[in-house]
């Protein structure tokens, strides 16, 4: 497929995913798990976008849409400028290779009856990465070393004989072999040992800097997001309520939701988790027919009349920093900036 520099490798354009929710009576009710979200991942230059949000905010649903596993209800996912569900067989194959997932549970993706390095053998075989058994073996060892694993500790072992952190890094070794353009990492470190989390993050940063691999890093852990740097998007009930450079969002959060989350954490500290410390639990998720209001209105200390009548657009607080909040209605709306 033709590569054009300005076209993102992977783009979600205004995607919405609605799910039916069980209700008493005959009326069918829906929630928007993801509500008009747009994001782009490029390879030149590679970037890391962190998506942060509480449980149920729609992080996994967005990632599944970007992987082509779940079709959006509205909006589209584009791979190199072409809508993913219209890709030809060859283009789909390229998309599958270039957009790779890392899932939350490091054990769930391995077959317990096979040795763990089989995932590397299969990648080498399926994508024809070597022409001899010796070459395959040295490729495998090189990939393991690239993610800080000793080949002797891993090769020939079964998943249950390794730690969660080692299993996650074997998945990264597979990425090293495949050299995808994009990694979609859905809470990849939440189930691994604190001691190896930084190692994992360093590998993602290395991939970005050395191999131009971009990542969507999904988390609800502010400290790790801060460590990675780059862009951050704050998701609340399926909507992106604030986005911009992570340092800006932490030092000058614009949206009342982000502000409330941050007040509980005076400084980024790896031992503190955003979700639990902020103690913000929103149970009144709006139904789709109530979409014409701010999703944060029930908790917002600054709520105004307009907030219950209209959905706030993204206002530009400063260059590259946006908040979907009427407190900034004197600022330009995204897309209308001069």
Please give the residue ranges that form the binding site for ligand SF4 (CB under 6 A).
256, 294, 296-297, 300, 302-304, 307, 312, 325-327
Determine the Cα–Cα distance for residues 91 and 114; give it in Å rounded to an integer. Answer: 30
Q: Which DSSP state fits 186?
A: E
The three-class DSSP label of residue 51 is: strand
10 Å Cβ neighbour count for 327? 17
Instruction: State in angstroms the smallest separation of the CB of 224 from ligand ATP.
Output: 14
Give the Cα separation of 33 and 280 in Å (integer). Answer: 18
CB of 296 to ligand SF4, least distance (A): 4
Residue nearest to Mg ion (CB): 60
- Our finding on whether 59 is near ligand ATP (CB under 6 A) is yes
The answer to the question of residue 60 lying near Mg ion (CB under 5 A) is yes
* Residue 57 binds which entry of Mg ion, ligand SF4, ligand ATP, none, CB below 5-8 Å type-dependent: ligand ATP
Give the count of beta carbons closer than 10 Å to the beta carbon of residue 118.
Answer: 14
For residue 193, count other CB atoms closer than 10 A to its CB: 14
The rounded distance, in Å, linking the Cα atoms of 250 and 298 is 23
Stretch that binds Mg ion, among 51-59, 194-202, 262-270, 305-313 (CB under 5 A): 51-59
- In the complex, least distance from residue 102 CB atom to Mg ion, rounded to whole angstroms: 13
Using the structure block, give the residue that is written with the tokens 């390794």: 162
- Please give the full DSSP string across 207-230, using - where no structure is assigned: HHHHH--EEEEEES-HHHHHHH-S
> Closer CB to Mg ion, residue 64 or residue 169?
64
Query: Applying CB under 6 A, does 56 fall inside the site for ligand ATP?
Result: yes
Alpha-carbon torsion angle 248, 252, 257, 262, nearest 10 = 90
- Contact set for ligand ATP, span 6-45 (CB under 6 A): 19, 33
Q: Kindly state the smallest distance separating residue 144's Cβ from ligand SF4, in Å.
A: 47
- How many Å apart are CA 217 and CA 123, to the nearest integer? 23
**Could you tell me where the DSSP H helices lie in 45-161?**
59-66, 89-98, 118-126, 133-146, 151-154
Helix (H, G, I), strand (E, B) or coil at 333: strand
> Rule CB under 6 A: is residue 50 a binding residue for ligand ATP?
no
Tell me which residues in 61-100 interact with ligand ATP (CB under 6 A).
61
10 Å CB burial of residue 178 (0-12, 13-18, 19+) is buried
Quick one: tokens of 214? Answer: 């971009």
327 binds, among ligand ATP, ligand SF4, Mg ion, none (CB under 5 to 8 A by kind): ligand SF4
CB of 333 to ligand SF4, least distance (A): 13
The interface partner of residue 300, options being ligand ATP, ligand SF4, Mg ion, none and the CB cut-off 5 to 8 Å by kind, is: ligand SF4
* Of the candidate residues 4, 5, 27, 55, the single one contacting ligand ATP (CB under 6 A): 55
Of these partners, Mg ion, ligand SF4, ligand ATP, none, which one is at the site of residue 58 (CB under 5 to 8 Å by kind)?
ligand ATP
C-beta closer to ligand ATP: residue 33 or 246: 33
Give the residue with the Cβ less far from ligand ATP, 19 or 93: 19
With respect to ligand ATP, which residue has the nearer C-beta, 108 or 161? 108
Residue 307 site contact among ligand ATP, Mg ion, ligand SF4, none (CB < 5 to 8 Å, cut-off depends on kind): ligand SF4
Q: Report the C-alpha gap between 48 and 307 in whole angstroms.
A: 32
- The answer to whether residue 219 forms part of the interface with Mg ion (CB under 5 A) is no
Token pair, residue 278, equals 């902020």
Which residues have C-beta within 8 Å of that of residue 76, sequence separation ≥ 6?
Answer: 13, 14, 15, 83, 84
Nearer to ligand SF4, 7 or 282 (CB): 282
- Applying the rule CB under 6 A, the residues between 255 and 294 that interact with ligand ATP are none
Interacting residues toward ligand ATP by CB under 6 A:
19, 33, 53, 55-61, 220
Interacting residues toward Mg ion by CB under 5 A:
59-60
């Amino acid at each position: 497929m033709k590569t054009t520099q300005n076209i993102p490798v992977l783009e979600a354009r205004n995607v919405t995913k609605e799910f039916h929710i069980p209700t008493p009576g005959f009326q069918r009710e829906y929630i928007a798990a993801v509500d008009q979200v747009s994001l782009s991942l490029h390879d030149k230059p590679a970037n890391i976008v962190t998506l942060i949000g509480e449980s149920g905010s729609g992080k996994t649903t967005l990632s599944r849409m970007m992987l082509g596993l779940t079709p959006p209800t509205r909006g589209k996912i584009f791979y190199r400028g072409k809508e993913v569900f219209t890709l030809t067989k060859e283009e789909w194959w390229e998309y599958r290779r270039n957009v790779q997932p890392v899932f939350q549970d490091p054990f769930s993706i391995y077959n317990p009856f096979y040795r763990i390095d089989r995932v590397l053998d299969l990648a080498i075989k399926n994508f024809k990465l070597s022409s001899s058994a010796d070459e395959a073996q040295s490729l495998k060892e090189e990939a393991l070393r690239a993610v800080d694993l000793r080949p002797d500790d891993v090769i020939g072992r079964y998943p249950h004989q390794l730690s969660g952190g080692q299993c996650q890094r074997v998945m990264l070794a597979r990425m090293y072999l495949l050299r995808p353009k994009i990694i979609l990492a859905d809470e990849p470190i939440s189930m691994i040992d604190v001691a190896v989390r930084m190692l994992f993050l360093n590998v993602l940063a290395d991939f970005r800097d050395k191999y131009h691999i971009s990542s969507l890093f999904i988390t609800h852990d502010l400290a790790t997001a801060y460590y990675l740097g780059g862009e951050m998007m704050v998701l609340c009930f399926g909507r992106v309520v604030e986005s911009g450079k992570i340092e800006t969002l932490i030092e000058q959060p614009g949206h009342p939701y982000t502000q409330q989350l941050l007040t509980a954490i005076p400084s980024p500290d790896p031992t503190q988790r955003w979700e639990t410390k902020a103690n913000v639990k929103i149970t009144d998720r709006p139904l789709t027919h109530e979409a014409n209001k701010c999703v944060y209105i029930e908790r917002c200390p600054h709520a105004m009349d307009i907030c219950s009548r209209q959905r706030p657009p993204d206002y530009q607080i400063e260059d590259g920093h946006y908040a979907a909040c009427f407190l900034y209605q004197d600022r330009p709306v995204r897309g209308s900036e001069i």
